[in-house]
């Protein structure tokens, strides 16, 4: 296919073939209509000539019977002046012109006599012929009647009436009709093409152009762009599919960003675990010595001041040991020992291990929850860390809502508090190790990081939701954990 055709827009690819088809259709119709007009003009001329012939024949018979030759000659002269008529003649049987009188009136015309005899032999008594100049001649034979016998004897054919129709006049009328017809067809063609162009522009070109602009926005990274669906035709369905595709791309990008964030988080936690595993032995041995020395000093202290100092050293050594133990939670070099268990039981154990104070607990556990393959102690520790974080956020009072359910082959755990919520600029860092908003010495910032690592170790997913609150109100935070349900062989769903 030529390049100039492939480079055309859809609008012109529709309009040009339609225009070519219309031109061909108009050309054929013009030819047919021109032929019909010519035939109609010829038929009209024949009808006019027949009317003239009837008038001349009637007048001729009357004038001959009453010897009023001037009347018929006057009629013939007037008819000869009609538009489109060249001549009107009355001929005798030998082809001599009887009326109107001319210079050749007494001269016989063998050709005219031959046409008169030919007309007499036809049932209609009429003969058509065209001369060298292209003039159409219609000749009627004048047959004898009984009253004509007195003058003409026993002749059957007395002569003829000849009417010559001008070819030039007929041609002018035909050309005039053709020009009017062609003008009307050109006007109709222009109007039809303009109408088609407007319809194609509105129904095809404009919607596609808008879709291309929307595609350009998506190509530049704006995945919020959507094509407006106004109709349910092919272009409307194309827009719907485009919107669905962009929506899927946006969802996949969001999922990819979340996966990349989780991967980066897991890598950071794994690095901390490797570091902790490497230095734990080097730290624990001196800590054990410090702890034993602090206990010995506490027992042999001479006064209360020395005992307090020894107790402080022992407490801080214990705190260091606890932090090292938490750091070792990030070391997953050994494979976890997984066994199918009920998440609801593990959640109850976690709630029982944390002092609640004045916090009210509301539980909603679905009656039939699939079991989960888990390392029970570590998952209980993850739940307990999230609960402690919620209690700290609420300041020891408020309401903690815990739900356990399942959907689509996953068990979902939700822990929601009524605290002040998490600021938007902190939400992306809540699972980072050592990130905390507490005062120095009040927290290590490892609880949620450990919970994150435990959930990831179980091939699960954890995220936080904290809606924006009105001024002076508590927005709260909602932690959601999703864990894959155990297989059928291990899943003994319990009410």
Query: Is CATH 3.30.565.10 correct for 337-484?
Result: yes
> What does CATH list as the number for 252-334?
1.10.287
Residue 488 clears pLDDT 80, i.e. is over it: no
The 10 Å CB-count burial string (b at 16+, else e) for 296-320 is ebbeeeeeeeeeeebeebbeebeeb
**Confidence band of 130 (pLDDT split at 50, 70, 90):** confident
pLDDT at residue number 469: 44
**Of the candidate ranges 111-115, 265-269, 329-333, 480-484, the one whose mean pLDDT is the lowest:** 329-333
Per-residue tokens: 349: 């154990």
Segment 48-84, tens digit of pLDDT = 767 777 777 777 677 766 777 777 777 777 777 777 7
Average of per-residue pLDDT values in the chain: 77
pLDDT above 80: residue 212: yes
Three-class SS state of 67? coil
Spatial separation of the C-alpha atoms in residues 346 and 374, rounded to whole Å: 10
Q: What is the pLDDT of residue 9?
A: 66
DSSP, collapsed to helix, strand or coil, labels residue 164 as strand
* Domain segments of the chain as ranges: 3-173, 252-334, 337-484
Distance CA 118, CA 358 (A): 133
Domain 3-173 has CATH 3.20.20.70: no
pLDDT classification of 415: cutoffs 50, 70, 90:
very high
The pTM score is 0.46
Task: Give residue 490's pLDDT.
Answer: 55
Using one digit for the tens of pLDDT, what is the confidence trace for 181-201? 778 878 887 888 888 888 877
What value, to the nearest 5°, has the Cα angle with vertex 471 and ends 469 and 473?
60
């Amino acid at each position: 296919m030529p390049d100039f055709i492939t480079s055309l827009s859809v609008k012109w690819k529709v309009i040009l073939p339609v225009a070519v088809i219309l031109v061909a259709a108009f050309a054929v119709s013009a030819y047919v209509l021109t032929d019909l007009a010519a035939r109609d003009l010829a038929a009209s001329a024949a009808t006019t000539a027949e009317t003239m012939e009837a008038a001349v024949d009637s007048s001729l018979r009357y004038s001959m019977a009453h010897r009023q030759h001037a009347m018929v000659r006057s009629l013939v002269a007037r008819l000869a002046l009609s538009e489109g008529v060249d001549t009107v003649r009355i001929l005798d049987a030998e082809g001599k012109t009887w009326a109107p009188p001319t210079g050749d009136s007494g001269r016989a015309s063998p050709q005219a006599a031959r046409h008169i005899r030919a007309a007499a032999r036809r049932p209609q008594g009429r003969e058509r012929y065209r001369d060298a100049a292209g003039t159409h001649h219609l000749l009627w034979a004048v047959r004898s009647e009984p009253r004509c016998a007195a003058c003409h004897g026993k002749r059957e054919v007395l002569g003829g009436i000849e009417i010559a129709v001008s070819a030039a006049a007929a041609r002018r009328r035909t050309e005039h009709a053709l020009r009017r017809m062609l003008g009307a067809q050109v006007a109709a063609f222009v109007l039809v093409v303009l109408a088609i162009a407007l319809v194609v522009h509105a129904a095809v070109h404009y919607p596609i152009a808008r879709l291309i602009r929307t595609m350009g926005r998506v190509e530049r990274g704006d995945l919020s762009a959507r094509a407006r669906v106004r109709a349910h035709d092919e272009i409307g369905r194309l827009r719907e599919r485009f919107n669905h595709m962009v929506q899927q791309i946006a969802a996949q990008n969001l999922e990819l960003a979340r996966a990349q964030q989780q991967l980066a988080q897991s890598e950071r936690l794994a690095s901390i675990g490797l570091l902790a595993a490497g230095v734990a032995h080097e730290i624990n041995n001196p800590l054990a010595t410090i702890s034993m020395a602090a206990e010995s000093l506490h027992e042999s202290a001479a006064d209360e001041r020395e005992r307090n100092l020894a107790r402080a050293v022992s407490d801080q050594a214990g705190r260091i040991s606890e932090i090292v133990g938490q750091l070792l939670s990030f070391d997953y070099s050994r494979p976890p020992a997984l066994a199918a268990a009920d998440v609801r039981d593990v959640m109850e154990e976690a709630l029982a291990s944390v002092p609640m104070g004045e916090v009210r607990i509301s539980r909603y556990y679905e009656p039939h929850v699939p079991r989960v393959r888990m390392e029970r102690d570590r998952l209980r520790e993850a739940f307990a860390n999230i609960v402690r974080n919620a209690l700290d956020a609420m300041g020891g009072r408020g309401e903690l809502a815990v739900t356990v359910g399942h959907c689509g082959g996953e068990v979902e755990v939700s822990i929601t508090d009524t605290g002040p919520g998490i600021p938007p600029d902190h939400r992306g860092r809540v699972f980072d190790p050592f990130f905390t908003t507490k005062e120095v010495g009040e927290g290590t910032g490892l609880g949620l990081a450990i919970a994150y690592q435990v959930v990831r170790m179980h091939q699960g997913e954890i995220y936080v939701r904290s809606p924006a609150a009105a001024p002076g109100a508590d927005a709260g935070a909602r932690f959601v954990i999703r864990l894959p349900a155990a297989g059928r062989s291990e899943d003994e769903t319990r009410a």
